[in-house]
Structure 1
Amino acid sequence: MSKRITPFASRYCSTLDRLTIRRKRPGLLRRGVVLQHDNATPHSANLTQQWLQRYGWEILPHSAHSPDLAPSDFHLFGPLKRHLGGVAFETEDDLISELMNWFDNLDVDFFRVGINSLLSR
């Protein structure tokens, strides 16, 4: 591995070390984490691959030239963030239950507006 790449991979691994999940739910650091990142040099560097293997994280494949988020996701995240803002969940199951209820109670127009706004972009 080139010495020029190492600082970027080191910084990326440092970022992974500081993930919120690690501070708030340390037991989850090794259990069932699936990470999606592209094939940028810091992500594919040996140092990063060793970090991921140490914690047993699974890498979700990311197609080349594929955006990280679908355009339709941008319509979803704001309202979801407002809905969940300031709420502390006792368990992961409580969070999943709340998310499922939120999605189940969304009006069809919510999705229609999101899809139709894609046309103007």
Structure 2
Amino acid sequence: MYLSLPLPSTMMRTTTLTVVSTDGNSQPSQYTITVPKHGRFEDLIQGLSVACSLVVNETFLVAEIYNICILRYLEEPSDSLSLIRYQDQLVAYRFIKDVEQFPLVVFMHQLMEEQYMHGK
């Protein structure tokens, strides 16, 4: 009296991003976003925007980080999420859209030299 049913493959995936605010008022925070498995990059941005309570005049610049350096920026909204592997490290920089009223922000990921870190 048992019935075997195939389990449907999951249609969603989760992606974890570190959000860095450029206003200097908050620490980096991690967010895990659930998006359609075969979705687009715009789905990820939309989910992250909701999770972070992004306001109208803010935006994200998402980067893939490899070996503590920015490997590439994920900027094309229509790109498939399949380009993002599950183990990829993603950082979303949160900043104001109107750059004419605010100073330029430069994003860098690097290790500081040990002697610099120890104040020598």
TM-score (normalised: structure 1): 0.24
Could you say which structure has the higher strand fraction? 2
Which one scores higher on RCO, CA 8 angstroms, separation ≥ 6?
2
TM-score between the two structures when normalised by the length of structure 2:
0.24
